[in-house]
Amino acid sequence: MSKILNNPLVTLVITTKNEEHNVPNVMKSIKAQTYKNIETILVDNQSDDNTKQVARKFTKLVFDKGPERSAQRNYGMIAKSKGEYVMFIDCDMILSPNLVKEAVRTIEEEEFVALHIPEIVLGSSFWSSVRRFERTFYDGTVVDGARFFRKSVFRKVKGFDLNMSGPEDWDIDKKMKKEGIVGLLNAPEKTGRWNMRKFIAEKGIDSTKYNVAIYHNETEFNMKKYLNKKGYYATSFDRYIKKWGSNDPDLRKQLGLGYRFFGVFIENGKWFQLVIHPFLTLGMMLLRFMVGVKFLTRKSSKVENPYKKK
Residues 278 and 85: their CA atoms lie apart, in Å, by 41
Residues 133 and 219: their CA atoms lie apart, in Å, by 16
**Residue 111, pLDDT score:** 92
Domain edges within the chain: 3-222
Residues 136 and 306: their CA atoms lie apart, in Å, by 25
> Class for domain 3-222, per CATH?
alpha beta
**Residue 298, pLDDT score:** 64
Residue 3 in contact with residue 108, Cβ under 8 Å? yes
**Residue 66, pLDDT score:** 87
Can you give the pLDDT of all 310 residues of the chain as single tens digits?
A: 344 658 999 999 999 999 999 999 999 999 999 999 999 999 999 999 999 999 999 999 999 998 889 999 999 999 999 999 999 999 999 999 999 999 999 999 999 999 999 999 999 999 999 999 999 999 999 999 999 999 999 999 999 999 988 899 999 999 999 999 999 999 999 877 898 999 999 999 999 999 999 999 986 666 777 777 777 777 788 899 999 999 999 999 998 889 999 999 999 999 999 999 999 999 999 998 888 777 777 655 454 544 454 4
Residues 6+ apart with CB under 8 A from 230: 291, 294, 295
**Residue 294, pLDDT score:** 74
Residues 274 and 97: their CA atoms lie apart, in Å, by 30
- CA–CA distance from 31 to each of 12, 96, 195, 265 (Å)? 11, 11, 10, 36
**Residue 227, pLDDT score:** 72
Residues 115 and 104: their CA atoms lie apart, in Å, by 10
Residues 95 and 219: their CA atoms lie apart, in Å, by 16
**Residue 283, pLDDT score:** 96
Nearest by Cα to 151 from 90, 213, 82: 82
Residues 99 and 95: their CA atoms lie apart, in Å, by 6
Residue 196 in contact with residue 25, Cβ under 8 Å? yes
CA torsion through residues 227, 119, 216, 61, sign: negative
**Residue 221, pLDDT score:** 67
- CA–CA distance from 116 to each of 100, 119, 149, 262 (Å)? 13, 9, 9, 22
**Residue 293, pLDDT score:** 79
Helix runs in the chain, H state only = 23-31, 51-55, 69-74, 99-109, 126-136, 151-156, 168-177, 197-202, 223-234, 237-244, 249-254, 257-258, 264-266, 271-276, 278-296
Residues 69 and 42: their CA atoms lie apart, in Å, by 12
Nearest by Cα to 69 from 156, 166, 152, 170: 166
Specify the amino acid at residue 227: L
Residue 140 in contact with residue 173, Cβ under 8 Å? no
Residues 6+ apart with CB under 8 A from 207: 96, 189, 194, 196, 197, 200, 201, 215
Residue 86 in contact with residue 154, Cβ under 8 Å? yes
Residue 240 in contact with residue 170, Cβ under 8 Å? yes
Residues 6+ apart with CB under 8 A from 93: 26, 119, 214, 215, 216, 217
* Strand 182-184 relative to strand 114-116, pairing: parallel
